[in-house]
Chain A
């Protein structure tokens, strides 16, 4: 590396300066979004994380579909059954999305990049908003690719068993959209936590505590306090599962999709609220604290 000694030039700085940096060069939100897009897509960790979501999602669904006969098949084609198989990867994908969300900001603190970022955008909040937009769009898109990919990959197996369902079945695509949206919101929720805590370890631990720890802890707490059980559907993960499910009154065929008692749209609002609180706290912290 050091062998490549850069050769300095003594060219005057003002040469061609007006050609590239003029009065039209100034901050705007779409430009900050573009900057964040360049940032997130230029890191290898992002590429690996997104690949992992796709591969693990499709892989897990294939594995389940390949072994579904031993678990018992529905009598005929069932949207609910297909959906359970196709959305299996969301369980793992949400962990990757959470890590991606935390790293999107903690990586800037650990490397010092945050100082460059905040001197370019000293009002700070547009950075957080732009990161949220970029993460959401990227993860939802990858989530959709994963889920549709899982459906396509398992289709031949379902067809062979005579229970294949099409993407166009009522409720199916909306549920997949819900699952992908949940993944995207998980990443944004994690971004907020990461901004608050500024550390990868602390951020990931906290987010995993919320999405994996709380659902484990809650049933135990419900043994001591009855009312705690009522909170269950409003947990981040429970609501997320409901987002990826068919509406409660849907003719779901045989196996009903596991999920909370919330309707998908209500569950979506619950996850949105979790994400919103996380982002607002993150914004307050980002604005107030020294970088």
Chain B
């Protein structure tokens, strides 16, 4: 459980994070989205006490991160930038990290196995590929078997197999009841992994809702229809004031209407339907719309809760 209240970070005159409030709940994956410079990494750094908030506060598991007696058991973090000494082997890095908490070789070997680093654990990090560096970062994050995981761009540089592995891992961690906060620029990946979304833009929260809500609310609901007699269906719907837009492939898109309504209209007229699909658009579409509008949101009244 991560809880931020009025969290603010200013670098000189630039405001990186602008008084945000949010809660990241355990048991699900919360996606952290936003354009570069939106304040995602700064927020993550403040959660684990690397950066000091200019105003406001953030707690993990009910306490400020610094107050925990076993920080590695509380939070496992993978930061965007590299955080390993390149002259040390992966094994020694993990051993040194664990040693601060009395976490020994057995657990170090375990996370090495878990992240598939066995073959390179004895090599110095200097020679690691981006993907191996990410795996080591994830191994460090898992070392303390933490209740909360904060992963900044974990799939960055991973091959498709690695991407899939991270997805499975992250879903598994949330299923175990852990709190997971995850950032990524890969929308398709986020759509498959996250349950809840927090979208940041210029240091403010643009959206904080379950992922399906974000997508449907932002994109609106559209229904795709396919029927042999499209002209007649269009005429029937037009009688009720519903517009139908014909697509090049012979189907039609109908906006702002439920599939039930279309199906019933067609049935009443004895029209056969070959397809009736709800198209909610992609997360990417929603994200683009949201972040393009961020200027509007900045001038609007503070948004704590959006209407559901």
* Contact surface of A with B, Cβ cutoff 8 Å: 1-2, 4-14, 16-17, 19-21, 23-28, 31-32, 34-36, 38-39, 42-45, 107-108, 111-116, 118-123, 288, 290-291
A112 touches B82 (CB 8 A): yes
Pairs of residues from A and B, 10 with the lowest C-beta to C-beta distance, nearest first: A6-B116, A26-B70, A20-B107, A35-B99, A8-B165, A42-B92, A21-B145, A115-B83, A113-B85, A38-B96
Contact check, A290 vs B66: say whether CB atoms are below 8 A apart.
no
Given A13-B142, A112-B83: 4 more A-B contacts, CB < 8 Å: A6-B118, A39-B88, A111-B86, A116-B84
Nearest-neighbor residue (CB-CB) of B137 within chain A: A116
Using A32-B100, A118-B49, A291-B50 as known contacts, say yes or no to A38 and B114 having CB atoms under 8 A apart: no
Closest A-chain residue to B169, C-beta based?
A13
Q: Are B88 and A16 interface neighbours, CB within 8 A?
A: no
Q: Is the CB of B116 within 8 A of A8?
A: yes
A8-B161, A9-B113, A13-B142 given as contacts; is B85 within 8 A of A43 (CB)?
Answer: yes
- Give Cα A123 to B70, complex, Å: 11
22 CB-based A-B contacts, threshold 8 Å: A6-B120, A8-B135, A9-B114, A10-B165, A13-B114, A13-B145, A21-B103, A25-B72, A25-B144, A31-B100, A32-B99, A38-B99, A42-B88, A42-B92, A43-B85, A43-B88, A111-B84, A115-B50, A118-B49, A122-B66, A290-B50, A291-B51
Q: List B contacts of A288 (CB < 8 A).
A: 52
Q: Who on chain A is nearest to B75 by CB? A: A119
| Structural contact, A2 and B129, CB atoms closer than 8 A | yes
When C-beta atoms are compared, the residue in chain B nearest to A33 turns out to be B99
Residue of B nearest to A123 (CB): B66
* B: number of interface residues (CB 8 Å): 67
**Shortest beta-carbon distance, B137 to chain A, in Å?**
9
Please name the residue on chain A nearest to B113 by beta carbon.
Answer: A9
Known: A115-B81, A116-B84. A12 touches B172 (CB 8 A): yes
Measured CB to CB, the closest approach of chain A to B85, in angstroms, equals: 4
Which of B49-108 touch A at CB < 8 Å?
49-52, 65-66, 68-73, 75, 77, 79, 81-89, 92-93, 95-97, 99-104, 106-107
Q: Which residue of B lies closest to A111 (CB)?
A: B85
A113 to B140, CA, bound (A): 12
Nearest B residue to A35 via CB reads: B99
- Quote the shortest CB–CB distance from B10 to chain A (angstroms): 12
Residues of chain A lying within 8 A (CB to CB) of residue B128: 1
* B1 at interface, CB cutoff 8 A: no
Q: Is the CB of A26 within 8 A of B69?
A: yes
- Which residues on the B side are within 8 Å of A120 (C-beta)? 71-72, 97, 100-101
- A21 near B144 (CB under 8 angstroms)? yes
Decide: B102 and A8 in contact? CB cutoff 8 A.
Answer: no
Shortest Cβ distance from A126 into B: residue: B100
Would A290 and B51 count as touching, CB distance under 8 A? yes
Shortest distance between the CB of A131 and any CB in chain B (Å) = 12
Q: List B contacts of A32 (CB < 8 A).
A: 99-100
Q: A8-B165, A21-B73 are in contact. Are A108 and B120 (CB under 8 A)?
A: no
Query: Does B168 lie at the interface of the complex (its beta carbon under 8 Å from any beta carbon of A)?
Result: yes
Residues of chain A within 8 A of B110, CB atoms compared: 16, 20
Bound-state CA distance A44–B116 (Å) is: 26
Q: Which chain A positions have C-beta within 8 A of B77?
A: 119
| Contacting pair A39 B85 (CB below 8 A) | yes
- On chain A, the residues within 8 Å of B7 by CB distance are none
A290 touches which of B52, B79, B81 (Cβ 8 Å)? B52
Contacts of B73 in A (CB 8 A): 21, 25-26
Residues of B contacting A111 in the complex (Cβ-Cβ under 8 angstroms) = 82, 84-87
How far is it, in angstroms, between the C-alpha of A42 and the C-alpha of B91 when the chains are bound? Answer: 10
B86: chain A residues within 8 A (beta carbon): 111
Contacts of B71 in A (CB 8 A): 27, 119-122
Set of chain B residues within 8 Å of A114, measured between Cβ atoms: 83
Q: Cβ of B162 < 8 Å from any Cβ of A?
A: yes
Instruction: Say yes or no for B173: interface residue by CB 8 A criterion.
Output: yes
Chain A residues with Cβ under 8 A from B51's Cβ?
290-291
